[in-house]
Amino acid sequence: MPTIDSPSTSTTTGAPPRRRIAAIIAAALTAVVLAAITPWPRGFQGAPTGDAALMSELEGALGSKHWQHVAAAHIDGDEVTFAGTGANEHTEFEIGSITKTFTAALFADAIDRGEIDADTRLGEVWPRLDGKVAEVTLESIAMQRSGLPSQVPAASFGDGVATTLANYLHTDPYRGDAADVVAGLGSVEVGKAEPEYSNFGFAVLGQAIAEVTGKDYADLVAERLTEPLGMEETFVPNSAEGLSHGYTASGLPAAPWTMSGSASAGAIRSTTHDMAIWLRAVRDGSAPGAEAAEPRKDFDDSDRIGWAWFTTENRSPNLTWHNGGTGGYRSFLGFDAESGRGIVVLNDSANDVDVAASIISKKGA
């Protein structure tokens, strides 16, 4: 009996020439399609920029995947070193859920300004809410233990279908505006107040801060955070027009995410130049709302959580960090408060870059 790697002559060499040619063409086309959609490890694309030693460390940490444009910043006290491939410190990326650290800073800053309290309830922000959801506090949302679901509830069946399709079409799945986010609170089932990562929670937190301040989330980010810190390359987009796009893990184009009413959960765009400013300012306590990074409660067996920020304490050195991911981007930012070392990695493909945290440990050796 013929084996898989030893086909019988009756099924191969005995086929008519035209059928054999058609089969070869079909097989070739299939191979091309599979190559396009399969995440083959294809290495780094584009010319290297910046510090060669840092780029070498970054390549060693990230390994061989389908990378497009990658940029990094290594921070050691006040010294910042940049490197990249096909990108530099001024190349713009989506930072994904690192956005939550900005939202948490706005939360802490609003408390400092006397606009809200840590234990302000959603029912105080939106008096029409009732039941269990009205009792959810803003601090419980900031510490990812509010009981709110992980994703924004679909406003309708059609929106739910469109969100699902977006994952396959590589488009922005966040369709609802600010009103839809708030309306979603009226139908959610609030679970136990235990650690559970919630994008919906941070969409709500951003809208709550906007509600109590009377200002749009994007304006708050600019006026209270990026402008005071001189972060001129960081912003919340209001539309996808003119924005660069990222790539899936296999290199297919993925549309930019602006996330509409959920922008406070992950829509900020920035550069490693500006994220190095952000890291240093939070680390040093000079950023507005920097106290958000202070760990407050256990999140899991290895991490404690502040407001958005995680601190991993079972490694050397300890690391305060957040990562991010959208349809076509991945990001990581982390620092060791004791030594002052930190790392920022931004990447426009859906390949994780969290392992870059190891660079801080190596630098400390």
Query: Does pLDDT of 365 surpass 50?
Result: no
* CATH no. of 48-363: 3.40.710.10
Query: Does pLDDT of 41 surpass 60?
Result: no
Provide the pLDDT for residue 43. 67
Q: What are phi and psi of 334, to 5 degrees?
A: -155, 155
Q: What is the mean pLDDT of the segment spanning 288-309? A: 96
Domain residue spans in the chain? 48-363
Q: CA-CA distance, 330 to 351, in Å (whole number)?
A: 6
pTM: 0.87
Write the pLDDT tens digit of every residue in 155-191: 666 666 777 777 777 888 998 999 999 999 999 999 9
The alpha carbons of the chain give a radius of gyration, in whole angstroms, of: 23
CB 123 within 8 A of CB 134: yes
pLDDT above 70 covers a percentage of the chain that reads 85
Residue with the larger pLDDT of the pair 325 and 317: 325
In order of 74, 81, 211, 246, 262, the CA distances from 95 in angstroms are: 17, 19, 24, 11, 14
Q: What's the CA dihedral at 97, 234, 307, 312 to 10 degrees? A: 60
Q: Residue 270: is it exposed, middle or buried by C-beta count within 10 angstroms (0-12/13-18/19+)?
A: buried
Q: What is the mean pLDDT of the segment spanning 31-45? A: 55
Q: CA-CA distance, 324 to 320, in Å (whole number)?
A: 14
Provide the pLDDT for residue 42. 61
Q: What is the mean pLDDT of the segment spanning 97-114? A: 98
